[in-house]
Each structure stands twice: as C-alpha cells, then as structure tokens.
A and B are shown apart, each in its own frame.
Chain A
C-alpha cells in the first residue's frame, strides 16, 4: 500500500504535478466559493474559454516559453472579465447573452489562432484539458506566487467580499468601494483561471471553480467553513486524481475533475438519503 503511494513520488514531474494540483485546488476552491454563492458559474466558464486567444498570442510571440504565456493569458482573462461587465452594463443585452457572445467568439478566435501555427507543433489538447505532469520548476514557482497572492487577497477582503455577495445594497450604504471590490473579484477569478490553466485546462476549469465549493455548500452553512472544506476537497481531489492518472493512464486534468465530481455525488447522494429517511420518519 505504502509503496503504491511512494512509487510515483520517485519521479520529479509527479512531485511537481502533485504540488501544483494542491495549490490550484486550494486557490480555485476559495475563489470558487464566491463563484458558487454569487451564481457566477457560467461567467467563470466563459472567462476560462476567453483566455485561449491570449494563450495563443503568447505562444506565437513568445516562442513557446511558458512564463510569457502566463502573462498573455492573464491579460486576456482580465480584459475579457472587465469586457463582459462593460458589454452587459452598457447595452440592452442581458448578461448571460453578453457572456455567450464573448465566450464563443473569443474561444473561436483562440482555436483559429492555434490551428494556424502547426509549425510550433502546439497541442491544442494541452490548453483544453491541461497537462499537470508537464509543470516545470518555473511554472511551479509562478503557480505558488500567484496562487498565494490570490489566497492572501481573498482572506484580507473576507468581510468585504462577504457583504458584497450577501447584500450589495448594504455594501453601498456602508460606503464600501463596491465597484472596486467587484472588479477585484473579477481579476481574482481571472488570475485563478490562469494559475489553473496547466492543471485542468480551459475546458474543465469551471469544474474546479464550482464543484468543490458546491460540495462544501452541501456540508456546511458557514462561509469560513465552506471555504476551508472546499479547499480540502479540491486539494484531496488533486492528489487522488493524479494517482489515478498515474496508475490507470488517464488524462490528469480529467482524472482530477472526475474525482471532484465523484466526491460531490457521494455527498449529494448521502444527503438525499438522509433527507428521505427524515421525511419517512416524520410521516
């Protein structure tokens, strides 16, 4: 048993992958708590897809170095998140429609750009589904620094984000800088998505943002605990998923997300059973 756990750790790429998966899990879960509570899942999904052209541009101009790639992705994500806000505010277009337009449009642009550069031998699948086992030392540092910054900011503005999410009108009458905080939350989402890009990829990102937080929401009705439990679930899923990927040879991003989903289904199923039992004993 112990050998099953220790064996993969002999490979440096596995150790880096595990560390990256844990960091990404914690960061996604903490930001994801607000995504779930504010009903922004669709927005998060759109944002993840919208960074594809940024990544592609970074690849084209940066000769494929992953450091530059991250900054390009970040710029694209920040632009897209603020852009969606601006489009849905300034016109008659409803927000979900605005998201749909920008989401599909930018994603298509990204695919078009990547498909035009065969010479780089770019693997589209890596962007779409992640490749956590390809994380370099440099990537890991970047993930740690950016992820740590996101966690620190979420903790520092804990009470402000709580009020803003629960009652934006109260936040205004308390004269908090609501617009600034809204935008800060969007930027945090954007950075989180970029940090997670290598681990789960664009297409599966929304699952990392939403599934652990939603599972925690089923378990507790306290914001602090919800964040902590979500982080625990996401980090555990990262580790279990990577081992699964190692032993049964499946894509790492998919393995992590499937583990998250399985945990959610277990908790949800268990709670439904409990509720049924309660109802039947009441009757």
Chain B
C-alpha cells in the first residue's frame, strides 16, 4: 500500500487541477439529473469526507449508476452542482468509475496488464507509449490485488472477484482518490467478497474514498462507514444502523422488501426485486 503514496510523490501531478484543502472532499448540492429525458435524481445533497467507505443502496432504477456517472463527470447534471475538493468533476483525473460487470466486453482482445495500464493513459499524454517504468508500476498494482499470475492472460480468464480486483488495480494505477464501483459484489461468493473488501479497506486507510452501489443491505450495514439510501431522492445518509430503519427502507423499496420484526429490531430478508 506504500505504492499509493509513492505514486503520488513520483508523478508530482496527482491532480491536474489543484485540490482546495479547506473544501469537503465530495460535496453534492441541490443536484437534479434528467436521464433519457426523464427525471432520474431529485434534489440530492450530501458531503463525503476523504477516506470514507460509503455503500449506496436502493432498488433498481433508483439512480445509483446515474449518481456515480454524474459525480464522475460522465453525465451532465441538469441543475445543482458536484464539487470534488472544490472543483467540478470534469477537471479531475482522480475519479475512477467501475461499470457493472455486464457492461464490460470480456472478449475484448486485451490482457489484465493492458487494462490496468489503461488507468495510466491520462498521465502518459498523447502520442506517448508506456515506458518500462510504467509497466513496472502497472505490475506492482497487479501484485497489490493478487493477480500477478494472471497478468498476461486475456481478461476472459478472470472470475467475478478477480474482475473487480483488476479494476481496483486500474484505479490505483490511475491514482484515483475517489473510487466508485457499480454492483461489484453481486454474484460473488463470500470469500471473493472478502478479498474485494480487504483491498478496498486498505485503499480507504490510505485516504481513497470508496463508494459502492450494492443490493446487499446486510453487507452495507456490516462493512461500510456510511450508508446512503437512494430512490431518486436521497432518503437517508449516515451511519448504517441509523439509516436502515423500517420506515426509511419502506420508503426506498416500497413493496419490494420483506421486513420481519424481531426482538432485536427489524430483520431484512432482502430486496426481492432485482438482481439481474
């Protein structure tokens, strides 16, 4: 994990625009987004400090991916603003967004090392190919997520958990300070989820802010510093046990959630609507 600090020092240009030290790391204010002509997000306001692990929870169509893509500067906001260290997203190259597994062409003719190298491209500049030092760095990133043995294989060779770890290595190569992952845990078995969590926890200890969209309320409650409940509107944001109340969950999921009251509180059976 020293790697991240070394990267920041070595390139000397971790940001291409200066970060304001007194601004919150991520501040979303009065954000409204229309997607495909339809309103997708209404009046979203929140702040995230650097190094937090945030689970973004909500049913399908809640706007989780849209929110991530607006924060990444990929989709435009209709009104309101997103500021990362005081600047709008489009100037930052320190934001990584990992798409849902189904949105990736796993037959694309590239190796794991190629994909991780893609994270460096913003730093290489036009017309310059990667040098030996860049490849060395890429392989250190691959080491960090434990994929060394697979570095030269085509990306089709990876299991679900390994796919997510490859993208985390890409984000490290990119020197990302904000890592947003769209449903990285769905379809993974428990050991694979643990491996992903371990790496994400290490990253957040080094000041990388991690935001993850997930359907798994149990995991969100157990493993994240903060939870965000989203269904087009922001229905709650804070410590998971404060956010996952019966009232709030019903507001987010409507009839799609099975809640069973127990002595210790509410047992959530899960949102039975939507895993692809």
Kindly state whether residue B96 has any CB partner on chain A within 8 Å: yes
- State A57–B264 Cα separation when bound (angstroms): 81
A173 with B110, Cβ < 8 A, contacts A163-B121, A166-B118 known: no
Q: Can you list, as one digit per residue, whether each of B87-121 has a CB less than 8 Å from chain A (1) or not (0)?
A: 00011110111010000110111110011011101
CB-nearest residue of chain A relative to B174? A174
In the bound complex, what is the Cα–Cα distance between A223 and B107 (angstroms)?
11
Interface presence of A139 (CB below 8 A): no
Q: Does B73 have its Cβ within 8 Å of any Cβ on chain A?
A: yes
Cα A175 to Cα B194 with chains together (Å) = 32
Select A169's contact among B93, B99, B107, B122, beta carbons within 8 Å.
B99
- Per-position 1/0 for B116-157, Cβ under 8 A of A: 011101101011011000000000000000000000001010
Chain B proximity mask over A124-162: 1 for CB below 8 Å, otherwise 0: 000000000000000000000000000000001111101
Complex-state Cα separation, A105 to B69, whole angstroms: 37
Contact sample, A vs B, 6 pairs, CB 8 Å cutoff: A37-B109, A159-B117, A166-B110, A169-B99, A173-B93, A221-B154
Cα-based distance from A222 to B112 in the complex (angstroms): 11
B1 within 8 A of A: no
CB distance from A202 to the nearest CB of B (A): 29
Report whether B72 and A37 are in contact in the complex, using a CB–CB cutoff of 8 Å: no
Listed in ascending order, the chain A residues whose CB lies under 8 Å from chain B are 37, 156-160, 162-163, 165-167, 169-170, 172-176, 217, 220-223, 225-226
Q: Which B182-225 residues sit within 8 Å CB-CB of chain A?
A: none
The one of A165, A176, A217, A225 that contacts B121, using a Cβ cutoff of 8 Å: A176
- Cβ-defined contact, A159 with B115, below 8 A: no
Q: Known: A172-B73, A175-B16. Contact between A159 and B129, CB under 8 A?
A: yes
B74 within 8 A of A: yes
**Known A163-B118, A174-B121: A221·B109 in contact at CB below 8 Å:** yes
B124 touches A159 (CB 8 A): yes
Q: Which of A37, A174, A217 counts the most B-chain CB atoms under 10 A from its CB?
A: A174
> Which 9 pairs from chain A and chain B are nearest by CB?
A174-B122, A221-B154, A221-B109, A223-B109, A172-B74, A163-B118, A166-B108, A226-B109, A173-B72
Residue numbers in A under 8 Å from B121 (CB-CB): 159-160, 163, 174, 176
CB distance from B167 to the nearest CB of A (A): 9
Interchain CA distance A20-B126 in the complex, whole Å: 31
B interface with A by C-beta (< 8 Å): 16, 69, 72-74, 90-93, 95-97, 99, 104-105, 107-111, 114-115, 117-119, 121-122, 124, 126-127, 129-130, 154, 156, 170, 174
Report how far A150 CA is from B127 CA in the complex, Å.
Answer: 15
Contacts of A176 in B (CB 8 A): 121-122
B109, A156: Cβ atoms closer than 8 Å = no
What CA separation (Å) do A141 and B211 show in the bound complex?
A: 56
- Residues in A whose Cβ lies below 8 Å from that of B73: 172-173
Bound complex: CA A217 to CA B154 (Å): 13
Q: Which residues of B contact A222 (CB under 8 A)?
A: 109-111, 154
Contact A162 B74 (CB under 8 A): no
Whole-angstrom distance between the Cβ of A57 and the nearest chain B Cβ:
36
Contact between B110 and A169 (Cβ–Cβ < 8 Å)? no
- Candidates B91, B96, B129, B156; contact of A221 at CB < 8 Å: B156
With beta carbons under 8 angstroms apart, the residue of B90, B109, B111, B127 that contacts A175 is B90
Contact A175 to B122, CB < 8 A, known contacts A37-B109, A166-B115, A169-B97: yes
Known: A169-B99, A175-B90. 12 other contacts (CB 8 A): A37-B108, A156-B127, A157-B126, A159-B129, A159-B130, A170-B170, A173-B96, A174-B119, A174-B174, A221-B107, A222-B110, A222-B154
How far apart are the CA atoms of A226 and B114 in the complex, in Å?
A: 14
Taking CB atoms, residues of chain B closer than 8 Å to A173 are 72-74, 93, 95-97, 174
Taking CB as reference atom, which chain A residue is nearest B105?
Answer: A166
- In the assembled complex, which residues on chain A have CB atoms less than 8 Å from the CB atom of B124? 159
CB-CB nearest in chain B for A220: B109
- Once bound together, how far apart are the Cα atoms of A163 and B104, in whole Å? 12
CA of A258 to CA of B91 in the docked complex: distance in angstroms? 50
A157 to B109, CA, bound (A): 17
Considering the chains assembled together, what is the distance between the CA atoms of A217 and B117 in angstroms?
22
Closest to B95 in A: A173
> Which residue from chain B places its CB closest to the CB of A165 in the assembled complex?
B108
Cα distance A166–B108 in the bound complex, in angstroms: 7
What's the nearest-Cβ distance from chain B to residue A183, in Å? 16
Closest to B96 in A: A173
When C-beta atoms are compared, the residue in chain B nearest to A216 turns out to be B109
* Contact, CB under 8 Å: B74 / A169: yes
Is the beta-carbon distance between B118 and A167 smaller than 8 angstroms?
Answer: yes
Shortest Cβ distance from residue B31 to the other chain A in the assembled complex, whole angstroms: 18
Compute how far the CA of A173 lies from the CA of B154 in the bound complex, rounded to whole angstroms. 24
